[in-house]
Structure 1
Amino acid sequence: MTPVVPNNLRQINATLVLNVIRKHGPLSRAQIAKISGITKATVSEIITDLLREKIIFEGGVSEQPGQGRKGILINFDPHARLGIGVDLGGTKITLSLFNLDARILYEKREATFKTANRDEFLDQLTNSIASFIVSTGEALSKIGVIGLATPGIVDINNGIVLEGSPNLPQWSDLPLAHELKKRLNIPVVLENDIRAALVGEMWCGKCRNSASAALIGIGTGLGSALLMDGKIIRGVNNAAGEIGYMIFNRDQLYKNWRDKGCFESYCSGSGISEKVKELTGNALPLEKIMINARNGDPLFCALLDEMADYLAMGIINLVAMANLQTVILTGGVTHAADYFLPRVQEILDRQLFNNTHVTVELSELREKAPLYGIAILALSALYPAIQFMPEKQIN
């Protein structure tokens, strides 16, 4: 009786072979078999399948030690398929083109559309993505996936924005992946923007060597994403990390914070701008508020000091809950970090214990983090066999 080999064993072997080629290639079939520990016959069968998918190609020859003949080299082709990344923000939209190595090849930024409703917004976004693809000079047939990072609570399995950002029109109960796929005929992978940025930090940023970390985005709004024991935390309804709705004292319980969370009101660009308008009657851009604070204006200094204190409280709460190894800040407000971060760190040093102490750092990737993250997530959906961070659980 011939034993039946489970399909999952074949898939495991195919994944191993593909990643050996990707990481160590170009290699001959014999070299692949030696590195992977899989028989030459099985390696040859898997390579035949991968060649059919055009994700690898034959090119070049190598000497086979002790065999007196040359072996054909197998190469991974990172440009076999390409993807489009979209980072959708309240003030700007960034588009990128990436390859199968999650390398960003092109980028473009533009102002977020000002539209009355979401259908108009989606039509403009569709046109923008289509125009970007044309501008890259790549054939549409090579685009295998679109990854989109958006504010709000996202159902990644069904591609739905459950509860969205007030900075985007009607951005709730929105089947965003379906709507874009219908318009562009390309599969769409959706993720929360801060969570995508955390994946980017895990891939090539300051969370590369962390098993437990938090990325806090302080921009137009406020949000965070959590990595605990090597696993991205999403929560039962994908709302983990919505720290903008944290409440810090009893009096705050008696105000409705649904439109803008309590923490976000004290610690975000829009929250600070609203407070300035309430106190002075003038609407000032965040850049002007930062300049005034650096120049020693008492009002603006007090507002940024208050923001720093609330940020420190929020971080202390996160550290107490998750015993974080790394805390990274990103977003537009962090351009004023030279003013407020020393105050935050001083509070943390005073309040945390030796075993929970963290040093807060600024992202070096900044705006690129969500682009790298959404590329990784989109590629993981398009080609699950490609392993980017096998020691971490990102889905």
Structure 2
Amino acid sequence: MEKYNLGIDIGGTFIKYALVDKKYNIKEKWKVKSVKFDTKDELYDYICSNIKDINLVDVIGVSAPGLIDQDSYVKSYAAENIVIMYGTNINHEIMKRVNRKVISINDAKSAGLCEFKIGNARGSKSSAFLILGTGTGGCLCNQNGVIYGKDAFAGEFHNIPFMNYKTKKIDKMGDYSSMTALIKIYNDKVDKNAEVEYGYEVCAKYLNNDEVAKNAIEEWINNIVTQLIAITVTYNPEIICIGGGISEEDWFINKLKKQYKENCIKYLELDFITTKIDRCKYNNDSNILGAIINANIK
């Protein structure tokens, strides 16, 4: 009987599962809604109760948000529905329920590892990954794979600091370049009754030549470019891959590439920067595939 790897992507909205063969082909996918529980045992029981065909599985790779160290301890709070995971050891909790090898990794690092091994950063000696979602996730890789840093904090690009001279406080770049930021940028420019709930609404208005949306998108992409330049100055990788649903839009990725190149010349006064900007190849599946890749190399 053929054995499969199981990937589990724990998110604040959904928990996604996939049975994957040894060549990283996805055979079956399913998902359940994330539910907020009062105890960690209720959450892990729920996660494991939705696993299918455990008799076909020999290795489980898990991706989850928040700071997860190399021993699989959750060291920071994440999305509200799964905040109870804080302080737990993901590997131990799932392993004792299903009796399989379990290896866990942060979701953005998982996506980066996927792209490094089988995606658009394959073959690179230095790469970075910026995942645009509710926040901005990140990952750095060298020729050997994911760079964790001493506290597993390397690549946490959302937290790149800058001084906000209006408030006299240190802000985080991710708060200005996430999809959440795009919504706020747009809503700050319109009346209350014209506010939107989702980022794709702003994008649709932009594509329909709405002037407010065009101004909001311009400001937002400049914020992303600033974050990309900060990554470039710090690491100057061969490639920075952009993930998240928005990265599948050609207009977005082309505009981002153009403004990145222009700003490297305009603000850094450097015309020799060759860091490539591209999208992630395995966008929606990168977390699960990266988690499985990580489990197989540990």
Q: TM-score, normalised by structure 1?
A: 0.66
Aligned residue for 1:249, secondary structure, equals strand
**Partner amino acid for 1:114?**
V
Quote the offset at 1:84 in angstroms.
0.8
Max Rg structure: 1
Q: Across the two proteins, how many residue pairs are aligned to each other?
A: 289
Q: State the partner residue of 2:46.
A: 124
Task: Tell me what 2:279 maps to.
Answer: 362
Instruction: Output the amino acid matched with 1:371.
Output: I
1:84 paired to 2:6: yes
**What is the DSSP-based 3-state SS (H/G/I as helix, E as strand, rest coil) of the residue aligned with 2:224?**
helix
> Which sections of structure 1, spanning at least 5 residues, go unmatched?
1-76, 134-139, 382-395
- Once residues 35 and 170 of structure 2 are traced to their aligned partners in structure 1, the CA distance between those partners, rounded to angstroms, is 27
On the 8 A contact 2:12/2:34 being kept in 1, the answer is no
Shift of 1:276: 4.4
- Say if 2:247 is the partner of 1:334: yes
Partner of residue 205, structure 2: 292
Q: Deviations over 1:256-282 (max 9, x none)?
A: 75xxxx222211122333444555444
Q: 1:348 to 1:118 in 2, by over 3 A?
A: farther
Q: SS at the partner of 1:160? A: coil
Distance 2:6 2:241 in 1: 26
1:166-315 correspondence to structure 2 within 5 Å: 166-170=79-83, 171-251=85-165, 254-255=168-169, 262-277=172-187, 280-281=191-192, 282-315=195-228
Aligned letter for 2:225?
A: A
Instruction: Say whether residues 1:372 and 2:285 are aligned partners.
Output: no
Match in the other structure for 2:17 = 95
CA distance in 2 between counterparts of 1:293 and 1:88 reads 32
343-352 or 298-307: bigger deviation: 343-352
1:96-129: CA deviation from partner (whole Å, max 9, x where unpaired): 112334433222234x413254534333222222
* Cα deviation digits, residues 116-172 of structure 1 (max 9, x gap): 54534333222222xx33xxxxxx344222110111111122x21111323443242
Structure 1 residues 283, 118: closer, same or farther in 2, change over 3 A?
A: farther
Distance 1:273 1:123, change over 3 A: farther
The unaligned stretches of length 5 or more in structure 2 are none
- The two structures have a TM-score, normalised by structure 2, of 0.86
Distance 2:250 2:35 in 1: 29
Higher relative contact order (CA 8 A, sep 6+): 2
CA distance in 2, matches of 1:95, 1:109: 6
**Equivalent in the alignment of 2:261:** 348
